[in-house]
Amino acid sequence: MRAYFYDNTSSDQREAHDSGVPVSVEDLSALGVLYRRLEGTPSECLSQIDSLCLERSYKNRDEIAISPELLPNYEEKIKMFFSEHIHEDEEIRFIVDGSGFFDVRDREDRWVRISVEKNDLLIVPAGIYHRFTLDTGNYIKAMRLFKEDPKWTPINRPDADNNPFRQEHLKAIGAAE
């Protein structure tokens, strides 16, 4: 994992867009974005995920593979993942293989790009504006963890501006409007 401010140039979303200004794990955590790298064999990683699920009450999981060949309705899904949105629940992803970018908005509404790869675990909090893209490797496989009653539906910007989960997130990071 590596995080940095997005350079806001208009080239392909799959490029790194690295402004050269890093963002630390602590900075991410202050935005409610939690990161952990899991170590060990795949089965050791799985048992760490099992413990995390118990601790945080994630009762369900599935796996998604994203590449032009593997994901049905690829073009449409890729567009949807990259439209700025929130969820009313955490977005928890364990990267099983491949790599990609999660972009999240900071307190001043700047994009922070989080480059994730195999064995990275990322928790994106409810109410934060974010988006996802593949990188130029064009492939990621991720385990998606969710609570019993997942609130999957992305709520796009600006529709989510007055959403209570958005307001609560702004309060949590000290940026209430």
Tokens 């979303």, located at residue: 13
Instruction: Pull the structure tokens for residue 82.
Output: 């990259």
Contact between 98 and ligand KMT (CB under 6 A)? no
Using the Cα atoms of residue 135, residue 138, residue 139 and residue 144 in order, give the sign of their dihedral.
positive
Number of H helices, E strands in the chain: 4, 11
Decide if residue 140 touches ligand KMT (CB under 6 A): yes
Could you say whether residue 129 binds ligand KMT (CB under 6 A)?
no
- Token pair recorded at residue 140: 């990621």
**Binding residue (CB under 6 A) for ligand KMT from 100, 125, 127, 150:** 100
Residue matched to tokens 């949807």: 80
CA atoms within 13 A on the CB side of 154: 17
Q: 17 labelled as ligand-binding?
A: no
Q: Are 38 and 94 in contact (CB under 8 A)?
A: yes
Nearest 5°: phi and psi at 9?
Answer: -85, 165
Among 25, 37, 33, 29, residue whose Cα is nearest residue 124? 33
90 touches, from Ni ion, ligand KMT, none (C-beta below 5 to 8 Å by class): none
- The verdict on whether residue 26 carries a ligand-binding annotation is no
The footprint of ligand KMT on this chain (CB under 6 A) covers a number of residues equal to: 9
Binding mask 5-44 for ligand KMT (x = CB under 6 A): ----------------------------------------
| Sequence-ordered list of residues with C-beta below 8 angstroms from that of 110, at least 6 positions apart, any chain | 5, 6
Quote the least distance from Cβ 163 to ligand KMT, whole Å.
Answer: 17
Does 169 appear as a known binding residue? no
81 binds ligand KMT (CB under 6 A): yes
Quick one: which of 46, 53, 64, 143 contacts ligand KMT (CB under 6 A)?
64
Closer of 26 and 132 to ligand KMT (Cβ): 132
Q: Which residue ranges make up the site for ligand KMT (CB under 6 A)?
A: 64, 81, 91, 93, 100, 132, 140, 142, 144
Name the binding residues for Fe(2+). 85, 87, 91, 130
